[in-house]
Amino acid sequence: MIPEQLQKANFAKTDVLFFIEQIPEQLTDRNPETFSKLFSLYLDGVLTQTEFLELVKDLFEPGSEDVLNYLESLISVRDKSRREAN
């Protein structure tokens, strides 16, 4: 089952799998709840892209730079397409 915040974000299937499978493995506490809450705040427009990325980077294990870089690229593409749609 795909979480509601990923459904409303309109990510591609491979990107949804990244959020469901890879991100939880890289979190320091292996609990995606805090990440999910911050992600929801970002999707709702409460947090900017920069604020979201700054807050979540402390949730990841050391050595997770590849995952963080991929997350940043996904968020960046989503922000760009959201701006172009408006």
pLDDT digits (tens, 9 = 90+) for 13-33: 888 888 888 999 999 887 788
What DSSP string describes 20-47?
IIIHHHHBTTS-THHHHHHHHHHHTTSS
Q: Is 60 helix (H, G, I), strand (E, B) or coil?
A: strand
pLDDT in tens, 42-80: 988 899 999 999 999 999 999 999 999 999 999 888 766
